[in-house]
Chain A
């Protein structure tokens, strides 16, 4: 069974600084997708970024980028120029084939003014 591990329950960063959230996963599949979701205090789950395992190029979305290391089964999220609105829970998630998403337990990020 696939598992997703987020080893940092909580993190904090100063406004305008850069922060990296860690995620590792375990799978025997070769084709899969990885995601980062953001959950602000409003509770809404928002897709931040998606990475296809067959793509070597790391995905980027504005200030958000990933470092995808397939061999190491690592999928970290980098947030540049952190803003107060980035304060949220961040969940790493994995999906392969026809199976449902598997989520990590989340990292609570606080951006400090």
Chain B
């Protein structure tokens, strides 16, 4: 069955380190998204992509970057992790812009 996976599921890192969270989907969806979820804020969009080589900034993109070299993957990089980036991160994909998104299981990141 097609699916969307995230790795790692849990990560603890130190302030200042570079961290990359992986997202892989097997639906062949063009659209992929990264969100962070924090108590009291719901889900906030970090970056998104509508196809290979396309990336766009979301609401809370500072300190994060993404690159899209193929359809299946959209890795999220924290260039220099900060304690404010402790959060749960969700990846999602959709077949068509404007349609429902399917979410991965999430990655809990703790920056100490």
Enumerate chain A interface residues (CB-CB to B < 8 A): 33, 35, 43-45, 47, 50, 91, 95-101, 103-106
A-B contact count (CB 8 A): 44
Q: Of residues B42, B50, B100, which shows the largest number of chain A Cβ atoms within 10 Å of its Cβ?
A: B42
Number of chain B residues whose Cβ lies closer than 8 Å to a Cβ of chain A: 23
Give the 5 A-B residue pairs with the shortest CB-CB distance, closest first.
A45-B103, A105-B42, A98-B97, A103-B43, A103-B42
Q: Map CB proximity to A onto B42-59 as digits: 1 under 8 Å, 0 otherwise.
A: 111100101000000010
16 CB < 8 A contacts A-B: A33-B99, A43-B88, A44-B106, A45-B90, A47-B100, A50-B100, A95-B99, A97-B97, A97-B98, A98-B50, A98-B98, A99-B97, A100-B33, A100-B45, A100-B48, A100-B58
Q: Which B residues touch A91, using CB under 8 A?
A: 42-43
- Closest Cβ neighbor of A6 among chain B residues: B42
- B75 sits at the interface (CB 8 A): no
Query: A87–B22 Cα gap in the complex (Å)?
Result: 29
- Closest Cβ neighbor of B42 among chain A residues: A105
A67 to chain B, nearest CB (A): 20
Query: A106–B39 Cα gap in the complex (Å)?
Result: 10
Query: A110–B46 Cα gap in the complex (Å)?
Result: 29
- Closest Cβ neighbor of A106 among chain B residues: B42
Whether A43 lies near B106 (C-beta < 8 A) is yes
Query: A84–B106 Cα gap in the complex (Å)?
Result: 23
- Sample of 18 more A-B contacts, CB < 8 Å, known A44-B106, A101-B33: A33-B98, A33-B100, A43-B88, A44-B103, A44-B105, A91-B42, A91-B43, A98-B98, A99-B97, A100-B33, A100-B58, A101-B101, A103-B35, A103-B42, A103-B43, A104-B42, A105-B41, A105-B42
